[in-house]
Amino acid sequence: MSFWERILTNEVLICAVAGWTVAQILKTIIEFTLNKNFSAERLVGSGGMPSSHSATVCALTTGAGIRFGVESFEFAICFILASVVMYDAIGVRQETGKQAKLLNLIMEQDFFHLDNEQFQKRLKELVGHTPLQVLAGAVLGILIAFLIHISFFPD
């Protein structure tokens, strides 16, 4: 079996990639529906609904649980990774977005003029997630992993 055949038959990897892809596409559709304009950045960008980080790690974890069992070290590693990623998405990354929003407001003030071109760019505000966005991504990832298993890798 060739390298690419082995990659394409790796159920756990397929689950994770599909989780990220579907979440990014849904995020783009939701953004388009709400704002009535297409943003290509939504196809690869972070932040927004649903969380593609959560969808990815939950699909990965669920795929590992299905493939290797919940008692396996593979599942344990994925579970811990998923917990850290989702905690970070809600906590640190969401706070980073709030700080960027405040700094952008400060930089827009008339009395605050910077000569450095780098500081004239707006900071990215959409980097973290709300708990609902993380939950939606997690549920999406779990569902995708089960759907992929049932559709393409039945025992």
In this predicted model, what pLDDT tens digit does every residue of 6-55 receive, in sequence order?
Answer: 999 999 999 999 999 999 999 999 988 988 888 777 788 777 899 999 99
Q: Which residues contact 93 (CB under 8 A, 6 or more apart)?
A: 46, 47, 127, 128, 129
pLDDT, tens digit (0-9, with 9 covering 90-100), for 102-155: 666 666 665 555 555 555 565 555 556 788 999 999 999 999 999 999 999 987
Distance CA 101, CA 123 (A): 7
Q: Are the beta carbons of 114 and 107 closer than 8 angstroms?
A: yes
Distance CA 14, CA 66 (A): 13
Q: Are the beta carbons of 46 and 126 closer than 8 angstroms?
A: yes
Distance CA 3, CA 89 (A): 33
Percent of the chain with pLDDT over 70: 76
Per the confidence metrics, is the pTM higher than 0.85? no
Distance CA 115, CA 151 (A): 57
Burial class of residue 52 in the structure, from the number of CB atoms within 10 Å of its CB (0-12 exposed, 13-18 middle, 19+ buried): buried
Provide the residue count of the chain: 155
pLDDT (0 to 100) of residue 155: 76
